[in-house]
Amino acid sequence: MSHSPATPSNTATQRLLKAARMLFAISAMAGTLAAQATSRTEPKPDWSTHDMPSQKGRIVLVTGGTSGMGYEDALALTRAGAEVIIAARNAERGREAIANIKQAVPKARVQFETLDLANLQSVRDLANRLRGRLPRLDVLINNAAIMSPPVRGVSADGYEMQLATNYLGHFALTGLLMPLLRKSDDGRVVSLSSIAAGRASLNFDDLQAERSYDPFASYSQSKLAVLKWSIELQQRSDAAGWGIRSIAAHPGVAVTELIARGPGLDSEFGKQWAVERDRYHSAAQGALPTLYAATALEAVGGAYYGPTGDNEKRGPLGFAKMPPAAADRSNSATLWQLSERLTGVTYR
């Protein structure tokens, strides 16, 4: 049976139809998410840590909890009665964070674990230690991140540093801790994205930025990957009956050490940030969407929370706008499968 070759006009028509189908799929998904959001309970705009239900008996792991919003997460959760594990690279900063928390909360149950998210062996080692001693894990807060280092870095496993730290390390850690999360009556995975995800796309042809490195584009891509994975994790949990709530959050723009440790305060980005920093959230305010997702009874699996004012840079807590690239599930399975291959971690 013979087939006539496609003419230029037919090829163009096929491309247009393919593009139209993709746009329809994205629009439909975004519309579904928007419809779901409007039918859900909106967070109280003035929700604060005073509204947190008791976390007594809950076990929480916070990555990057030695400073910034991760520290505020750990502090608020210990105040609410949770047993908190701070996982980060620097043991000295970990000891300082724990000392400060115990000074503020004398009966705090908080400890430090070493974790380098840019080293998959370190991720595996932490997961093995926790699986060996914890009865379960109730909440995993994937908070740690690096932002826009001016020079492309490479992780211990050979991956672009921002993708490795912000996304792949957390993907691996979550998968390895899934058996503990599934033992919880209300297991939650809260993953930190960013408003930068709205300006990103996944470049599968150069995901590691080996051919062309743009610091902010790589950061944005890593945060889009986090958001897409968070949504996909909820879908897979629902399908497989894992019983996990996977929730994404972003802080808007908060005053933390992220800029100083990334592009630097003397960079153009840092100088612009410094001019407007008085208008941004504090680290404690930036932590509220995460804390809501981690503790509120009304928090919805698959949702995305953040500030709702001034292009979501700050403002009252609510449902964050879902970027079309995150709502588009056409490449979510591809991202998941690639992440499994790069990390060697399969979810069970």
Catalytic residues: 219
| Residue 227, Cβ density class (10 Å: 0-12 exposed, 13-18 middle, ≥19 buried) | buried
Q: Which residue has the tokens 């390390």?
A: 169
Closest by Cα among 209, 118, 112, 249 to 171: 118
Q: Which residue has the tokens 């730290």?
A: 165
| One-letter-per-residue 3-state SS of the chain | CCCCCCCHHHHHHHHHHHHHHHHHHHHHHHHHHHHHHHHCCCCCCCCCHHHCCCCCCCEEEEECCCCHHHHHHHHHHHHCCCEEEEEECCHHHHHHHHHHHHHHCCCCEEEEEECCCCCHHHHHHHHHHHHHHCCCCCEEEECCCCCCCCCCCECCCCCEHHHHHHHHHHHHHHHHHHHHHCCCCCCEEEEECCHHHHHCCCCHHHCCCCCCCCHHHHHHHHHHHHHHHHHHHHHHHHHHCCCCEEEEECCCCECCCHHHHCCCCCCHHHHHHHHHHHHCECHHHHCHHHHHHHHCCCCCCCCEEEEEECCCCEEEEEECCCCHHHHCCCCHHHHHHHHHHHHCCCCC
